A = this chain, B = another copy of it.
């Protein structure tokens, strides 16, 4: 039964399609078990979706109305509290289910801890992993847990996937050495520009998975994330890179992770929501 005036709450605001018919499939991962400093990324998916109510669905830059695109929103993963590996398994299985009925759909994760990216990458098996992040995330283990968010790029590298990291301004000596020994290239936020992005990403094999740890942005744009860092990227820095990437490389999966806070319409969520719309728009043009 349907009512004349009611609408489903807290999905994206415009008409959605069924996952079988979608080109873009949104999936929330409200997990924050291993957040290092500021807790609260469990509310990330809800906050991002709610913040899209602030936005026009029409993207001026692309002359595209994403409300007219075939988008599905399959809700949130039921997390396994405190266990990033088991939760990431559920992410992986969910994306595998999706691919069985719709192999061409591009999953877009909204998180939630960066640790969950691993599940998506395991399901999608990209050849390359391009990530914006303030942190290298190349630790072997953190707080006794190899599936901590601080290890996700390491776990992905160990799968034989090529990596390029941008916006970096935090790491350990061990992570730097691991990167060097394993041919993982990265650009410090201080040195980041569009050319540095193209230079590193151009040689990467396809398909590509794109991960955006929201803390890649400057902390004035993303105060409500697990580990905000001064000296980060600006909004158009990332958009410009996303545009080049989706135009020049086959992208099979995307995520926007580490969004937190408790306040509806907080700056971090608004930044993530606009980024989400640009990503979908860029993929579609």
Contacts and interface: CB of A to CB of B under 8 A. Distances in A.
Given A18-B1, A231-B274, A274-B229, A7 B43 contact: no
B4 A94 contact: yes
Contact-size category for A: 35 or more
Contacts of A47: 264
A238 B133 CA distance: 22
Most buried by B among A10, A19, A49: A10
Given A39-B42, A60-B170, 5 more contacts: A1-B20, A5-B94, A6-B94, A32-B39, A221-B230
A275 to B, nearest CB: 7
B235 A230 contact: yes
A83 to B, nearest CB: 7
B36 A54 contact: yes
Given A7-B76, A10-B46, A265 B262 contact: yes
Contacts of A27: 6
13 contacts: A1-B20, A3-B74, A3-B94, A4-B93, A9-B28, A10-B10, A10-B46, A36-B54, A38-B265, A40-B40, A47-B264, A56-B172, A219-B267
A134 to B, nearest CB: 10
A183 interface: no
A61 interface: yes
A228 interface: yes
Majority SS at the chain A contact face: loop
B10 A9 contact: yes
Contacts of A40: 39-40
Contacts of A78: 5-7
A62 to B, nearest CB: 11
A181 interface: no
B3 A43 contact: no
Interface string A144-172: 11001000000000000000000011111
Interface in A90-120: 90, 93-94, 97-98, 101
A28 B98 CA distance: 31
Contacts of A145: 81-82
A93 B3 CA distance: 9
A50 interface: yes
A211 interface: no
Given A37-B265, A231-B239, A93 B5 contact: yes
B38 A228 contact: no
Nearest to A174: B58
Contacts of A20: 1
